[in-house]
């Protein structure tokens, strides 16, 4: 087994304090599409724009990406044998 494969973890690690993380195993572009695509998977209850939109245990990754106070996101990808792994962090908990 090569050194790069040995350093790849099979599961995601806990997010650093004060950050929200996103983990994907596979094509990095597909990972980002998957997170953003969550908005199409489940209906979000938003009766009117006069109300705050609250997270309701669906679309967690998407809601964390589009929070009003999220101003930064950084991603890293790594080739782990034949599999690519993607991990992204936002600047919010």
- Distances in whole angstroms, Cα of residue 24 to Cα of each of 27, 45, 52, 60, 62: 8, 27, 29, 14, 14
Domain that holds residue 15: 3-90
What local confidence, expressed as pLDDT, does residue 80 receive? 80
Q: Which residues of the chain have pLDDT under 70?
A: 1-7, 9-13, 18, 39, 42-59, 66, 93
How many structural domains compose the chain?
1
């Amino acid at each position: 087994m090569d050194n790069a494969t040995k350093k790849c973890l099979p599961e995601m690690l806990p997010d650093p304090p004060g950050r929200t993380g996103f983990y994907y195993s596979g094509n990095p572009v597909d990972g980002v599409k998957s997170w953003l695509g969550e908005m199409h998977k489940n209906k979000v209850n938003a009766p009117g724009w006069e109300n705050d939109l609250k997270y309701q245990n669906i679309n967690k990754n998407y809601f964390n990406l589009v929070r009003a106070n999220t101003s930064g996101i950084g991603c890293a990808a790594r080739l782990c044998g034949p599999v690519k792994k993607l991990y992204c962090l936002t600047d919010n908990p």
